Amino acid sequence: MSSTVIPFGPQHPVLPEPLHIKLVMEDERIVEAIPAIGYVHRGLEKLTETKEFTQNTFVVERVCGICSVMHAMAYCQGMEELMNIAIPDRAKFLRVIWAELHRMHSHLLWLGLLADAFGFESLFMQAWRNREKVMDIMEETCGSRVVISANIIGGTRRDLSKEQMVKINQIVDEIKEDLEQLESVFLNNYTVKHRLVGRGVLTKEDAVEYCTVGPMARASGISMDLRTTGYSAYGQLDFEPIIHSDGDNYARTYVRLHEIYQSVDLVKQAIAKIPEGEHVIPVKGVPPKGDVISRVEQPRGEVLYFMRGNGTKTLDRLRLRTPTFANIPSLLKMLPGSELSDVGMLILTIDPCISCTER
């Protein structure tokens, strides 16, 4: 049978970002997927080599808006390790609170986009209405909605007052309540399940082979969550990675939805356990010669930072690998064999962030 090539993207209604995939089709089935990325390369890694190491915190935050806190967190943790700085305990807990709030808003955004992709507009609006509450917390506590610039080397830029923490506690409870109403629609609705169950299956063996990370890996039954390594204050909090064994679209929705509940729980735990004291310490000197690797669990999976200091204010090299970059091979594994009408959903369920990938 002769094959046809259908281009997906770079502009496509399901994604706001430019991802181009050539789909080699036989009838309605995909036999091969050839990716082409590089439409939004901004040269941020090169830019970090010209900026001072303190300014880089603001540069890496702009790699990706949705996970800006975690980018800055990974960079700051790495630099603190390189420069041998022990940050105050309160700063560690504050970082966890903001990071988990960020995970909540990222997953709520994704749930909304998922609903939008299968054409459930009212569900999309309900998910985003919920998300708006998190965005308001961000603006109130940090001064900005998305790129909140909460982390600096040596701690955090702002502190949380007692009243703010009480308020955050209330709002995350509200979000949990609202989400419980939406949960049954996402997980039990007949029509929604028809688009999710059994589509885009990634087996555990394939997930291991293609080095899948984050919720994708957890939905395929791999118990891999970097937070369990106990970086920042995660070591003092009690949680278990959320795992599903099916590896299909439904499993990925299940994992992300339940991670919002987990984040609510983590925020509440961190607020209950946060110690008193300083939230930042002054940093003196410059990064010494040496290499450091820092890894952090983002909403989409593991992000890896490599930094090389040379004894001056600027870094020799900053290299970062984002979760979407790691997940694209598994997407290409999932696409062959599926139908053309499922392509949008499949690409969406890896939670792609193309601007992250291309930096």
Partner 1 sequence: MFKMVENVLKNLVSKPATRNYPFDKREPFKDSRGHISGCDIDVCIFCGMCQRKCPANAIVVSKPEKSWEIDQFKCVICNACVEVCPKKCIFSSAEHKSAQSFKDKLKLVQASKPVEGAEQNA
Residues within the annotated binding site for Fe cation? 67, 356
Among 139, 173, 278, 291, binds partner 1 (CB under 8 A): 139
- Between 32 and 178, name the residue whose CB sits nearer to partner 1: 178
The smaller minimum CB distance to partner 1, of residues 128 and 231, is found at 128
Query: Shortest distance, CB of residue 56 to partner 1, whole angstroms?
Result: 8
Exposure on the CB side of residue 185, measured as CA atoms within 13 A: 17
Indicate whether 311 belongs to the interface with partner 1 (CB under 8 A): no
- Measure Cα distances from 306 to 50, 290, 319 in Å: 16, 11, 5
Q: Which two tokens stand for residue 43?
A: 């040269």
Task: Provide, rounded to whole angstroms, the least separation between the CB of residue 71 and partner 1.
Answer: 14
CB 184 within 8 A of CB 126: no
Least CB distance from residue 246 to partner 1, whole Å?
A: 26
Tell me the number of residues near partner 1 by CB under 8 A.
22
Buried b (16+ CB within 10 A) or exposed e, 306-315: ebbbeeeebb
What is the full DSSP assignment across 125-171? HHHHHHHHHHHHHHHHHHS-SSS---EETTEES----HHHHHHHHHH
User: Which residue, chain included where needed, has tokens 């979407």?
Assistant: 324
Is residue 314 a contact residue for partner 1 (CB under 8 A)?
A: no
- Residue closer to partner 1 (CB basis): 132 or 278: 132
**Is residue 132 close enough to count as binding partner 1 by CB under 8 A?**
yes
Residues 141-180 that bind partner 1 (CB under 8 A): 143-144, 147, 149, 157-158
| Separation between Cα atoms, residue 90 and residue 96, nearest integer Å | 10
Known binding-site residue numbers: 45, 64, 67, 320, 353, 356
Question: Residue 224: which residues within 8 A CB-CB, separation 6 or more?
Answer: 213, 217, 218, 241, 302
**Residue 164 near residue 136 (C-beta atoms within 8 A):** no
Tell whether residue 289 is a contact of partner 1 (CB under 8 A). Answer: no
Site membership for partner 1, residue 54 (CB under 8 A)? yes
Shorter beta-carbon distance to partner 1: residue 31 or 152: 152
Which positions touch partner 1 (CB under 8 A)? 51-52, 54-56, 58-59, 62, 125, 129, 132, 136, 139-140, 143-144, 147, 149, 157-158, 181, 184
